[in-house]
Structure 1
Amino acid sequence: MNSAFDDFLTLEVNHLDVNVLTGIYSEETHLPQPLRISIRARLKMADHYAPDTPLSRSKNYMDLKHAATAALPEGQHFTLIEAVADHIIDTIFMQDDKVLHVEVKIIKLALSEKGEEIGITLGRPRR
């Protein structure tokens, strides 16, 4: 049983600005929209991380970045940003079975008028 005091390892990639075809309104559906994407992935961790611990005991941060950039299908329109987050989560789970939980936060930059962050956070455990 996990407690609030168990060790954990979370990899993070924050504030990736990515242009994605998304939206439900006609003015949104033909041009990519700027999204700010942040990802947190909780992993099974090693008992201890010594100076010579190999990367295979963790995960490459660049895999998270890849899931939110190059792994998004080019030309694919996502009606909802929730679907973008879902795709990113699925990609990260497929990359590595050490990933236990993924959280994706997406901010729609085009909606911001005074620096506010408007968007969603979607989290899912491995099933």
Structure 2
Amino acid sequence: MKSGYTYIMANNRPTLYVGVTSNLTQRVYKHQHNLIPGFTAKYLCHKLVYYEVFDEIMQAIIREKQIKDMNRDDKIRLIRRMNPMMEDLSYTILESPWKAPQNDDPSSPPLSKGRLGGVV
């Protein structure tokens, strides 16, 4: 089974977007370059401010739903426990936030459907 990531992207306001993926590097790159039409491109949520790693993608999906059910203040508290200054963590997972990942796998699962992501 594939591993998974639950993550939160933000802009400078901060508007928050909660997502799930099996390839965090690729997904963050796509968000930062507006390659995924929709919420993150519209609101310029380019900063990776939080993420969790799971052994199985289903665990990440369950966690995504838990985080999406949190109110805004709880999401901010969650982020600040890992990232007190809400800095862009993409530098920790990408060689550079502007360099395309080497293994761009188009089979990466799409953003979760059934719930609008992230408006908090």
Q: Which is greater in Rg?
A: 1
TM over 0.5, shorter chain: no
TM-score normalised by L of structure 1: 0.30
Hey, which of these two has a bigger chunk of helix by percent?
Answer: 2
Q: Higher strand fraction: Structure 1 or Structure 2?
A: 1
Q: Which has the higher contact order (CA 8 A, sep 6+)?
A: 2
